[in-house]
Each structure stands twice: as C-alpha cells, then as structure tokens.
Structure 1
Amino acid sequence: MGKPDAAIPQRHSFSRYLLLCMMVLVLCVVGFLTVNDYLYTKQNFNHEEYLLQVQTEQNIEQAIRLKDAIWNTYDSSLNDLMRQGLVQVAAEYEHAGRDPARMDLVQLKKQIGEDFDIYIIDENGVIVYTTYAPELGMDFTTIPSFYRYLSKIRNAEGFYPDRIVNELKGEGKFRKYAYQPTPDHRYILELGLIGQSFENVNEKVEVNDNIDSIIAVNPYVERYRVFNSLGRLSEDNSLPEPAVQEHLKKVSQTRSNLEVVDADKGITTRYLFLDLVDETYGSDPSRIIEITYSQKLIQESLNALLLFHLVTGAAAIIFGCIIAFFLSRWINRPVQEIVSDIEIISKGNLEHRIRPTENREFAILETSINSMVDSLRQGVQQMKDEEIFKKEMIDQLPVGVFLKRVDNGRYIFWNKTNEILFHMRAADIVGKTDREIFPPGIVAAIEKEDSRIISNPHEVISKIEDFRSPGGGVLHSLTVPILDSTGKLQYILGICQDVSHENINLKMDLLFSLTRHDILDNLSVIMNHLERAQLIKSHEAMDTFFEKTLGSVSSIRNQISSMRALQDRGLVTPAWQSVERAIDDARSLLSGPPPDIQMEVEGIEINADPLLPRIFSILLENSLKSGSRPASFIRVSARESGGILHIIYQDDSMGIPEDEKESIFGSAYDGNSVRGLFLIRELLAFTGINIREIGVYGKGTIFDIHVPAGKFRRKTR
C-alpha cells in the first residue's frame, strides 16, 4: 500500500530541526546581547568624545581670547608713543615740500628711535619708501580688506593706531603699527615699532602652553595648530601645506567653522574660526585653530570589546548546543516512536496501532492517528468497491471509453465497447502508447490532437470522422481533458460512438428532401406543358412540347435511378470519386437539356460523400435557374495551394450580394437566387470539406470548395 523506502524524500529528522531551533535561539540571544552591548558602548564613546570635543574647543577659544585681551591692554599703552613719532614724520614730510623722495628717513629714524621704522604708502597701496628694506615695494592690494582700510585712512584725517602683529615680510617679528594720512591725502605715513619687550610679553602670555594642557586632557586629539587670519602659523609665521591652505582660505572667506572627514583613516579635522576683529583697527587678529581628532582609540576599544563578546559568545554557544542536543533527544523520543509506527502503517499494515505514550499531547496525537487509520482502512475498502463498480459500469456502456496519462501517454483504461469498435483487446492496449499501437499516420493525427488539448486544457474536442474499422461507418468522438484539484492536466479521456445509422438517416432525409423537391419541380413543368398543349395547333409546337415533357420525365427517372444506386452502394462510407464524372452525373439529373460546362478537373479524385453528384446538380440548377440573370457560361477548375485543393465552380449569373455570402448557407435562408446550399455544406462537412462563395455581385457566382490534404489525389493515365 505504501511507497517503498527508496521513493521517500530524504529530509531531516524532527530532532535535528529541534536541535537547530535551539542552536538558533542561543545564537540569537548571544548575538543580540553582543550587538546591543557593542552599540551601547559605541554610543557612550561617541557621546564622551563629543563632550570632550566641545569642552576642548571652548577652553581653547577662551585661552586665545584671554591672550588677545592681554595684548590689547599692552597695545593701547603704546598708542601715545606712536602718535608722537608720526608727528615728527609728518613735520619732515612738510619740510621736504611734501615730496617723500626728499625726506631723510634714516636721519628721521635716529631722531625718533632705532626701534622705529618709517613707511610711506602711496595711493596704490604700495610701500614706496621705508627704512625697513624687506618690506619695500609691499603691495597691500593683495590683502583687499586691509587695502580698503588704508584707502579709508588716506582720505581721512587724524591718527590711526593698529595692533601688535607679525610683520608680513622679513623675520616675521612682532611690530606695533600706526598710520596717519598726509595733508594732501596722497600718501599714508606709517610707523612700525619693534622691541625685545614684545617678545618678552609674548612669552609671558604664550597661549600654546595652555592649549597643550587643554589638549592633553582629550585623548582623541592627535594634534592642533593655530593660524592667523592670513593662513600663516602663529608660531613662526610660515605657510602650511597646500591642501590645508585651501581649507584655511575657505574658513577666512566664510568666517565660519569647517569640518573635514577622512573616513578611510578614521580622522576628522576641524577648523575653528575665532573672530577677534576690531573695526577700529586695520589688522585682523582673528585666529583659525586646526584640531585633528582620531577614532583610533575608540575603534581599538570597540574591537577589544567585540573580541571579548565573541569569545564569551562562542563558549555560550558551545555550552548551549550541548544542552540542546541532549534536550532535543529527550523531547523527540515519543515522536520517534510514533514515526516508527506510522512507517509500519504506511507500508500497508492498516491493522497496526500507534503505541501508547505518557505525554498528554502525544496521547491525543496517538488517538487521532489510530482513528485516522481506521477511517482510512474503511475508505480504502469502500474505494476499492467503488472502483470495481465504476469499472464494470463503464465497461458495460454502449459507447467506447478510453483513458490515458498525459505525462507518459500510456493508456490506463480501454472498455469492452472499444474492443468491439476497434477489434483491439484491452490487454493489448493498456500500458502502451499510441506509437506502440497504431500506424504512423494515425499516430501523427492523435499526437496533434493531444497537443491541442495540452495547450488548451479547458477545450473539449468533438468530431465526426470516417470509421476505418472493418465494416466502415461514421464515428462520433469526444476528447475531454481531465484536470486534478490544482487545475493541472493529468489525463485525456476519449468517448466514441458509432453513429453510422444516424448518419444514414440524416443523409436519407437530405436525399429524399432533394429528390422530392426536384420531382415536384419536374411535375410542375409537365403540368404546365399539358395545360399549354390544349392551345397548340402546329406540328412543330407539338414536337417541342413532347421534347420538354420527355426531358422532365427523363429527369425524374434519372433521379429515382440515382437514389436507388446510392441505396445499393451505401450512403455512409465516403469513396474516391472522379470530380469530372460526378459533374457528368449531375448534368443527367437536370430536367432540361444538359448545359455546356468548361471542365479543368481531369484526373482529379476526391474522397467525398456518395452524394457528390447531387451536390454539383444543386449548383448547376442554381446557375441555370437564377431569378435575375440565368448563367450562360459555367466552368469548373481546380488548383492546389498550401496542401489544400481548391475546386472553383464559376458562372456568369448575377452573383450573390456581399451581405448574403454567408447567410445563403443557413437553413433559414429563403432567397430566390439560390437554394439547397445548406444541404451542400452539410454533405461536404461529413468528410471535412468546406465551401464558401467568393464572387463579386454583378459579375457572376464563384464557389470555392476546400478539400483538405489526404482527401484528394490526381489519377494518372
């Protein structure tokens, strides 16, 4: 009953799944604790770093501002000395006739003091005369803000002291500057004071020591540097590397802070701008502090923490897995017992019972499985009984039934009616494919039909075809797709029935209908001639009367003879017939003189219904008796295209209107132009032949008869 062990998929056991679940649980707990602690510690480090950063930057700013305040106090005490010196320079300018070239600056310097240097700046912002050679020719337009300040002084009046700053050229020493415009506003007189006292004061208020102390408290700072507003180092007035110069330039222009992050190296460099500018002075004592922070210490601490958690987690995982292993085996023992019993049952032993267990849940499972097995045993027995009943019932049906699988094409059922219809025993069919049973021609047709079913599994194929078994006949078959509960095609069901008797009755009805109609037409003609015969007086008219009357009588005789011949030959089985001879036989069924027909169908035979002559006789009668314009020319030709034979019937009658080309083949058509076309289409359809009208109204009637491949041949002499 059950499948063999080899067919059972190899899957993991429940105990293994349970063990894996426990291991995953341990991993999740350890992983969660590790990640949570790691993120929490990292957050604390980042917060601590941020607080230290804020505190460090605030302390550095306060230290620099304190130094600036001390310098301002000392700077202001020198303003009177600078004013007195500029008074002497201005007097010398007047004494030289306001011509700087005539001024004796060297002698003037000796009078004022050796610690002073004199500068004369022209209206272009260039030092044109000075006692300090390194700064001769200095162009202040290169410092736009300071040049604007000098231009303002030159066009004003009075004394303008400046801050103690580093000289731009020379040795970069500290100098105290002051300015005064000439009375003619052509020049600016500048005085620069230098002295050892500046260096002494600078050493006493040296801010770097304080900053070093501040930086030492912050372990995340790698280095710091202090720059003036011109981007030079405050310590030695030197220029930094080009990349830093660009950052300093940007900070000076925007007068705001800048942060540069190097993620690859874990370094963040901050440029803090301390705005110390005083509008009353020309120099800008503002400072830019470069502080480089490193994440190295934080990352090392986090790595150490992570390593600790990994070691601890690995130990916890190993310990947890050991516990999970023994725990899963203990929990899984009742399951293994139930599985063992189920395997015995699955092999067909439905009398076997699930052994009792102590656990309540497993006891419920035990009872449920035993109940299910009992139901299954009863269901199997009932299914076997129903299967026998259905098989016997289908076997006794008066129609042939077969069933075959879609996946391998093998027949799994063939009832007794099929054995009678096809003279093939079920033992010779079941378990075989079409290729093992039928000849290649039939196999190709069956496979084509199966492919159609497979591509459209919701289609039912119904067809009537020749019955090629001994005795002949007509077979009506249905091909039905059988789907499973998921909608997938599983089987192909075939139902077939011998409808030869019904086909004979149908054709006899058609034949009697046609013959009765034609005989009545001929009798009407005879009665009409007899009525007119009473008025005939000449011998020639009487001969014409007898000729027409005898033609109608001959037509009736030929129709009755044709019907008797068909009854003798049989109305069911199609036969190979010459198209040319069928047309000749059709001409003999006409009541009047046979028309001339241009035939181009020599040697062509088609496998058609025995009533083929009657089909052509209907077409000829419609051509000769067309109400609006009878035909005077009829031609029947044939051509082959794409494996299909086209028999073209053509005349020069009025033709069929465009809107009636399809309705003329309907059973309810009552037009006067044509008749009997419904019967023609039905008779041709018995053998798979089709007919349609393709002519142009007013230019004649053209019927195109399609004969499919295998239903026509050319007979050679």
Structure 2
Amino acid sequence: MDLRTKLLLGIGIALLFAFSLVALFSALSMETSYRKLETVEMEDAVATVRSAIEIDMKTSYSTAKDYSVWSATYQFLEGENPDWLRENMGADFFSRFPLDRVMIFNRSGGLIFSMQYNDTALLVEPASGVYIDDMERFNMAMKTIRSQNGSYGILEASGGPVVIASHPILKDDASGPVAGSLHLARHLDEEYLSELSERTGDTISVIPAEEIAGNASYAGVEGQFSAGKQIAVETSGNDFVTAYIPLIDQEPPADYYLAVTSPRTIYQTGMSGITTFLVSIAVAGIFLTLFILVFVDRIILSRINTIIRSVKERGVTADGEEKTESREADELTRLAVSIDPVFTELATSREKMAESEERYRMLAESAQDIIFIIDRDDTITYVNAFAAKAFGRPKSTIIGRPRSALFPGPIGERQRQSLDRVLSTGEPVKIEGSLPLPTGEIWQDTLLVPIRDLHSTITGVMGISRDLTKRKEAEDALATAHHKLTLISTITRHDILNQLTALASYLELSRDYAENDTARDFIEKEQRIAALIDREINFTRDFEDVGAGVPVWHNVNAVISGSNRTLLTGGVAVEIGFTDIEIYADSLLEKVFFNLIDNAIRYGGSGLSSVRFSAQENAGSLVIRCEDNGAGIRPDEKERIFEQGYGNHTGLGLFLCREILRITGISITETGTLGTGARFDIVVPPGKWRRTGQDAAG
C-alpha cells in the first residue's frame, strides 16, 4: 500500500470517526435537553392542577362565607328561622354548587345539620356516621366557632382526601357572637378527578402514600422524594410521563400524592427530530468526507508529486547541466522553482534590516540627549552613550539593572508613577523636573512613549530627556527680576495711594470751605480726577499680574462658582449648564467670570433675573457662552466695551478680561441682541480645553 492510499484511507477513517462522535454527542445532548424540557412541562402541568384545586377550594370557601355571614342562617341557629333548611339546603343547592356534603354545628360544637347529595338518585340524604366523626374532629381542631374568619383546605378523612371549606356563622354585618359553623365538603373522588382532568387536559389521580411505599413500580418516585425533590417525574415507556407531588398543604412524605399523567408529545417529537438529524449528519458526513478526500488527492497530493518530480528534474543531468524548468508548471511547481530566489531575497532583506538598525543605533548613540528603554519589569534594557556619560559609568554597568537602583527614594517613585501611566494607558507622557546626576542636578524635559511588539502589546517604555537647565536658570532669573519690579511697583503704588487718600481728604475739606459754586465745581472736577487716578493705579495692580504666572488647567464650573460666591447678586440667579470642562488659561481666569457677572448685574437693568453659562463644541473649538436677560448692548458698543477707559464704571473690566484670555489664545466677543440681553462668547481653541480627567493638551 503506497503513501497516497494510506493517507487517503487514514483521512477518511478520521473524518468518519469525527462525524460519528459529533453525531453521538449531539444526539445525547439533544435527548437530555428534551428530557429536561419534558420535566419542565410536567412541573407546569402539576402547577396548573394544583392551581385548579386551589381555585375550587377558594370557590367553596366563598360559598361557605356567603351562607355563613347571613342573618337568615344566624336566625336558623338561634331557632328563629325553622324554614331555612327547606329553603336553602335542598337538592337545588347541590345542583348549583359542586359539593358533596353540608354540615352545620352550633356554638357548642354540637351537630345541627348533616346532609350529603346522592348524585345517582339526585336526592339529599343524611351524611354517613364516619364522615360525621371526621367533620366533628375537624371542627374541634380548627376551632372555627372561636374566630371571625373561616378556613379551607384538604381534610384527611377516613374515606380519602376531602376539599373542605368552613366559616363561622355571623350576622349580615359580620358581627357576632358566633352562632356556630358551616362546613362544605367535596371528596376528591373519581368524578371530581375526571372533571379536573377535562379542565386541565391531563389525566389526574390521587394515590395514597401506602400504595407507593414499598411498591417496586414506584421505587423511582420514592427515590426522588428521598433526595429532597418536591416533584417526582417518572416515565411509562415512550408513551406517557407522570408527575407526582404531595397534595396541597403537604410536604413529602405525605398521606396522599397527586399524580398528573400526560402523553410524551415533546419527547416523541424530539426523538423524531434527533433521528432526522442523525440521518442528515450521516449523509452530510459521507458527502463531505468524499469531497475532502477528492480535494486532498487532486489539490494537495497530486501537486506534492509534481513538486517532487520538479525537484528531481532540477537536479544535475549526466552531462552536468542543470534544468531550470518543469514540464508541469502550476502554482506549487512555480513555487518550487522560486525557492532559491526567495532565500536570496530573505538574505538581502536581513542585510537591509541590519543596515537600518545600525543607522538608527548611530542616531541614538550620537544624540546629545539621554535616551533609554525600560521594560515592564522596571529593568533598564538600553541607554545611549550620552546617558552613560551623564551617569558617569559604562553602559554595561547600567543595562540590565533595575531602574530603582539608580534612582531610589521619592524621585524613583515619581518616575515609576509616570512609567506605569504609559504602560497602562498606552499614551505618551511628557514630564519636566530635576534629575540628580554625578555631575550635579540638572533640569530636564522628558518624553515617555510606549514600545509595542508585532501584536501591539506594550513591552516597555522609551524615554528621551533633554537638558533644560540653562532655560530653567533663565526663567528663575526672570522670575526674580519680575519679583523685584513687582515689589518696587507695589511700594510705589502704595505711596501714591496714600497721597491720593490725603489729597481726597483735603479736597473734601476744601469743598466745605468753598464760598461759591465755581470753586465747588472746580473741587468736584479735582475729586473726579483723583478718583480716576485711584482706579488707574488699582488697574495697574491687576494688570501687572496678567501673564505673571504659568497658565494652568481650570475647572470652569468651579471658577464660575467661586466668582459668584464673592458677588452680591441681589436675587439674580447664576446658572451653569456644565460640570466637566477644563480650559488652559492664565491664573487670573476667575477675574474674567467675576467681571462678566458683575457687568450683567450693574448694567442689565431692572428686568435682569438670571445669568446663564453654557458650553458647546464647534469645529474642535469650545464656545463658552455667558448670556443674561437684561437690557443688552447697542451694536455700536459691542467692540468699544473692550477698550480701556470705556464704560459707565471703571472702563477696565472687560479690557482686562480680554487681555487675560488672550495669553493662551482665547478670544471673547459680544454677540447679543439689544433688548433681549447681553451675550458674550468665549472661544477656546483646540488643545486648550478638555473634559475632566483627560490629559493636558498644549
């Protein structure tokens, strides 16, 4: 037997075996599923039967209550209505209600009336003595005459289970004292069970416990109840299935069990479907096996033979010449012919890759920045020559060591947090801070980027650190100079304000001593000039802080809320329609929103009741809108209100707002309509705003 025959035979047997296993496991799984579905159906059927019996008991109880809470019945027991029995307890009573027996006891527990219905003779006759004993025992146990409420249930009577409904006899208004009790009963006999079967669509029977106990045919039922199940389900061949459950208000082991029998329609339908499925699987398996065998033989095995022949034909012939082409050239044959060029191309690619790696290595090694790579285990896997020189040690003593060995303490912990952030988010992180080196401490700007493998899994972090020490020193020198200038201007401004205060006092005194209106008019003008100088001096105090600090990210909702708390709004509601927006702006941003709210209150007029802030994105920018329902601004003043010195108050508020925002490229314009209120649009460019929790951009 050649290789081709063995391979095809082995593949065929393996495929048939695989299809057989699939069919077997599928059939077993489907059969188990149908059995479970059948069990669920029988549980539903049992619940339906028990519900029907429960309804019958409640109906009997309702009838007992109707006849018990009735003054006519009450008077009968009191001896005042002797015709009650003839009028109410005749044969027509039993024809109207599905009952077997009626019994009435007085308040002392004595039997007053006991009748049963003979459905064969259609006559009412006295109840049997055994039944009377059962009812007297039940009446004493239930103590019906001692309560205002009745009861219903199933009585374990001598002749079998009985549906019983009892109620104390009261007056029409349910008042007492209780005159006695009325009991209505119906046996769970064959007639009742036959009626119940017609209603539910299943065959129903009641089986005494002693009939099940020790009976080999009920061994499975006993086993299921012994295992703690509330419902036992047993099959009778392939035709019927029966569910057993204790009667209502009983738990296993019970005196009587309710048996509900149904045809195995679901199971039989399922078995038919499984048979069809197995036949279909068999047919499909045979055809698929044949197809795979033909496919393997024609597409793979035959071409393997072609490749073998091609390789042989490419060998050296007797005259020493090598053949370069096969007589049967298809895809795989051409692949065989192309093997050598592919290997050559692979070798060329490796050389180019090595050249590329060398080029990038030279770039990293010649860079005048610290370049390093750290893996997920916090181990240094690469540093360039500049980094090794900065650390004052050979590269071999750095690579392979834990990063924490070079940077212990708080600095190392801060570095670890930044690295973890890159590893967890997969996003670059830019940090700036000091770095202690053997040559001294430097100030550096570091960019951390994730390194990914071919499967896009992050394997480490590459960092590039640039020395910013000189720039930092220049910034510190500038800050020192700015501090000195601020100190000088503060002292000078303080002295000028003191002199202005004294001047204002003398002008006020001069006004009191003025002897004519002309002199007083000059003094008032001098006072206004002094007040204007005071406002200008105060403005220089605010304006000198603009741009003095480094811009930071501000939560706009918090800034507006802080501005609102420092103002006396006088009943004007300030509404903020967002909570999660941050913008990159000067540290004096709060003055912007303070001035906007203050201007609305000052110039909005008597009709002003609210100032609303909202935000919406527009082409990547963010528009923060401040609008009120006041008087509004005339069209010719929309731009002039931002000029220094314009306005009814200081003329500096909106000018200062625009200058504060302009530092980070944010603009502000007035876009409202006169008569409907003022509206200021603050446009934040892309990169200068973000949702709360996002990384800073810009």
TM-score normalised by length of structure 1: 0.30
Q: Which has the larger radius of gyration?
A: 1
Task: Using structure 2 for the length normalisation, give the TM-score.
Answer: 0.31
